[in-house]
Amino acid sequence: MSIDVRPVSSRRDLMRFIKLPWRLYRDQPNWVPPLISERKRHLDRARNPFFEHAEAEYFLAWRDEKPVGRICAHVDHRLNEVQGNDWGLFGFFECEQDDEVASALLGTAEAWLRERGRDRMVGPFDFSTNHECGVLVEGHDKRPQILEFWHHPYYGPLIEGQGFSKAMDLLKWELFIGDARKRTLPVIYELAEKLEPEHGIRLRHMRKRDFEDEVRRFMDIYNSAWEKNWAFVPLTDTELRAYAKELKPILDENWAMVAEKDGETVGAALTLPDYNQVLAKVNGRLLPFGWVKALIARRKIDAVRVFALGVKPEYQHTGVAAAFYVEHYEMAEKTPQSGGEMGWILEANVAMNKAMEAMGGEIVKRYRLYEKELG
């Protein structure tokens, strides 16, 4: 049967768009179902502040009136303004192992972006580097952590088969306290010990009771420390408030830290308990009984994900990052979470990747972003 790609035009189609992965991954134990309610909110143009500076179209591929793939084509005008480019983006790519379906999906997204004058198609981003992004190309033997995906191994070849090449790899490093203490280079501890006496910088943990201000401090660091990164786009105030609302229920004060000097926040580290261990138990729904499973699973979370760690450029020589690393060791000895994964980290971020190596880390996952010229 021929492939027909059509825009998502109804609530029923949107639910098909969201639910398609349940069929594609039904026999894959490492796939973790997302919360359906969260996906609906994320894709809602009226509720997601991303759409204050972006436009998008969602597409489903049909064969014999059965959904067999999906994709989103979108233009982030804020990203293009910040980065000085004319990119078009794609995301939410899910597909049967079928070159014809992949060709139809990516071709439809490409045509939509060409109509809007884009000179390059880059992705997948769901919707930007501030959200989940990339295709898993290494590490399929491991379950994804919070705010990341598991993909079929054939996804990369499907995309490459349509004329796309690698734009950037995102690396996930694994560290567990038992090994890390022994393998960390002494210079990490030396830098951490000098932080306060030589530079007047102190570390503290975020306070949940002051959460909105803490998130604002964190995002100030986030926007400052990452501004020169490939494909980075700073969050708007509205996006910041939305992030704060989503993060508050899963924040653990043990794992959220800031560095301050004379009242100024100069660095921040936000590490999250791996709530994918909870999501794996509830199959996308908290109601009617998923919340009971979630409460039980929450107590058993044994790993974390270092979601973001950054230092203002003018303080990056002081050892703030080293102090964060050492404090993470301390927390791993005091909490049920004995370690976890760091990143993702851009493969081009030499300093951070060297730091992970200095701490005895091991690359366990690689997510790939692709590009194709449209000129």
Both 137 and 223 in a single domain?
A: no
CA distance 3 to 66: 10
Q: Which of 170, 194, 224 is the last residue of a domain?
A: 170
27: domain CATH number is 3.40.630.30
Cα–Cα nearest to 356, from 368, 371, 340: 340
Q: pLDDT averaged over consecutive 10-residue blocks of the chain (375 residues)?
A: 94 98 97 96 97 98 96 98 96 98 98 98 96 97 95 98 98 81 82 96 93 85 86 91 85 94 94 93 80 78 91 93 92 90 93 87 96 93
CB within 8 Å of 8: residues ≥ 6 apart:
14, 16, 17, 57, 58, 59, 60
Question: Which pLDDT does position 364 carry in this prediction?
Answer: 97
Tell me the residue range of the domain where 151 lies. 4-170
Question: Which pLDDT does position 3 carry in this prediction?
Answer: 96
Both 181 and 154 in a single domain?
A: no
Question: Which pLDDT does position 223 carry in this prediction?
Answer: 84
Q: Which of 154, 170, 186 is the last residue of a domain?
A: 170
Question: Which pLDDT does position 179 carry in this prediction?
Answer: 61
Tell whether 284 is covered by a domain.
Answer: yes
Question: Do 137 and 366 touch, CB atoms closer than 8 A?
Answer: yes
Tell whether 64 is covered by a domain.
Answer: yes
Tell whether 208 is covered by a domain.
Answer: yes
CA distance 149 to 134: 9
Q: What is the pLDDT of residues 135-151, one digit of tens each?
A: 999 999 999 999 999 99
Question: Which pLDDT does position 298 carry in this prediction?
Answer: 84
Both 202 and 159 in a single domain?
A: no
Q: Classify 362 as helix, strand or coil.
A: strand
Both 226 and 347 in a single domain?
A: yes
Question: Which pLDDT does position 295 carry in this prediction?
Answer: 76
Both 70 and 195 in a single domain?
A: no
Both 114 and 39 in a single domain?
A: yes
Q: Which of 124, 151, 170 is the last residue of a domain?
A: 170
Question: Which pLDDT does position 228 carry in this prediction?
Answer: 83
Both 206 and 240 in a single domain?
A: yes
Both 340 and 200 in a single domain?
A: yes
Both 124 and 240 in a single domain?
A: no
